[in-house]
Amino acid sequence: MSFSLKSSVDLPNSPVPGAQIPLIGLGTYAGSSGGLAPAVKYAVKEAGFRHIDAAYAYFNEKEVGEGIRDSGVPRSEIFITSKVWNTHHRQVEECLDIILSDLGTDYVDLLLIHWPIAMNPKGNSKFLPTREDGSYDIDEEWKVSQTWEQMEAVQRLGKAKQIGVSNFSEWMLETNILPIAKIKPAVNQIELHPYNPQHKLVAYLKKQGIVPVAYSPLGALKRPIAFGRSAKGIPAIPKSSKPSRILTNGSPAQLTPDDVAKLDALSNEPGKQKRFVKLPWGVKLGFEDWDIAETARKQ
């Protein structure tokens, strides 16, 4: 199966009839210092990307917005994702208003809960607040289901066309979101590459109409990994700030079913499964390969 930057995937849970997400997007994590706006402009104007993955917590959305405007491509033709950060679970709309102001737009196409982890909004940092003992300052009183209710509210206001989640396990969705959701998440953005294919979670999401989106798709093996995901119809958001790589990452893939099967089987070898984004939150997330004991912050 081949894909191109024009390929899109249906979002069955979206309240917007016919809603889709472009299969390939540009990741923007850790891009800034003057390099991100030109990279975004190049991706949109020259390479033809129509999907940009941003987040409040990347602290670079002004540059993302600048790059999009400089591309000259109309806002309505670009699919922008952003994410509500942990310290804003109690104030989703406030976080989204900052996102919209920084991006210079009046809506995002997709808003995600970045992690199912509410952190103290009045703590010692707006990013990763900590307690005196060094552990993360988790907002124990707040439930992720309450955050989802606020997500539904901003969707109804039209400030976010679609809403979804990120870094949610099946357990987290089953216990916190699906029992109360009036609108089911359109996507779950998760770490997906051949070393962390999460086959069971992907199958579960598809059954629920929740589209998995692959972050860190280049993982350790670089470019072929994103191709493996996209060739299976899973949107992927590879990040690069280098024009030649942006072009390469958005170019059509020619993977045979045999190639995809080989990529899928990589993590089955003993000791090969690996998750790259693993923060010591100290709370249960419910992933098969990520136990709460492993995440407890060292004192």
Ligand X SMILES: NC(=O)c1ccc[n+]([C@@H]2O[C@H](COP(=O)([O-])OP(=O)(O)OC[C@H]3O[C@@H](n4cnc5c(N)ncnc54)[C@H](OP(=O)(O)O)[C@@H]3O)[C@@H](O)[C@H]2O)c1
Q: Does 164 bind ligand X (CB under 6 A)?
A: no
State which H helix or E strand residue 187 sits in: strand 187-191
- Identified binder of ligand X from the candidate list 14, 188, 198, 216, rule CB under 6 A: 216
Q: Does 27 bind ligand X (CB under 6 A)?
A: yes
89 annotated binding-site participant: no
Q: Does 147 bind ligand X (CB under 6 A)?
A: no
Q: Does 230 bind ligand X (CB under 6 A)?
A: no
The amino acid at residue 75 is R
Stretch that binds ligand X, among 40-48, 64-72, 245-253, 263-271 (CB under 6 A): 245-253
The catalytically annotated residue of 42, 58, 195, 215 is 58
Residue 18, phi-psi category: left (phi > 0), alpha (psi -120 to 50), beta (remainder): left
- Identified binder of ligand X from the candidate list 2, 101, 248, 268, rule CB under 6 A: 248
- Smallest distance, ligand X to C-beta of residue 133, A: 25
Q: Does 198 bind ligand X (CB under 6 A)?
A: no
Count of residues that bind ligand X according to CB under 6 A: 25
- Smallest distance, ligand X to C-beta of residue 122, A: 23
Helix (H, G, I), strand (E, B) or coil at 146: helix
- Build a one-symbol-per-residue string for 59-88: x at contacts with ligand X by CB under 6 A, - elsewhere: ------------------------------
Burial 243-263 (b: 16+ CB within 10 A, else e): eebbbebbeebebeeeebeeb
Half-sphere exposure (Cβ direction) of 238: Cα atoms closer than 13 Å: 31
Q: Which are the contacts of 287, defined by CB distance < 8 A and separation ≥ 6? A: 169, 201, 275
Q: Does 290 bind ligand X (CB under 6 A)?
A: no
Q: Does 53 bind ligand X (CB under 6 A)?
A: yes
Phi, psi (rounded to 5 degrees) for 10: -65, 145
Q: Does 116 bind ligand X (CB under 6 A)?
A: no
Q: Does 200 bind ligand X (CB under 6 A)?
A: no
Nearer to ligand X, 58 or 184 (CB): 58
Q: Does 252 bind ligand X (CB under 6 A)?
A: no
CA angle 160, 164, 166 (to 5 degrees): 130
Cα gap 171→277, rounded to integer Å: 19
Cα 238 to Cα 192, 213, 286: the distances in Å are 11, 11, 26
- Identified binder of ligand X from the candidate list 105, 188, 189, 198, rule CB under 6 A: 189
- Give CA 137 to chain center in angstroms: 23
Task: Copy the structure tokens of residue 92.
Answer: 């989703």
By the 10 Å C-beta count (0-12 exposed, 13-18 middle, 19+ buried), 282 is classed as: middle
- Smallest distance, ligand X to C-beta of residue 184, A: 19
Stretch that binds ligand X, among 59-67, 99-107, 146-154, 244-252 (CB under 6 A): 244-252
Q: What is the dihedral sign for C-alpha 169, 175, 179, 182?
A: negative
107 belongs to the catalytic site: no
Residue number of the CB atom closest to ligand X? 27
Residues making up the binding site for substrate: 114
Active-site residues, by number, are 58
Residues that bind ligand X (CB under 6 A): 27-29, 53, 114, 166-167, 189, 215-219, 222-223, 237-242, 245, 248-249, 277
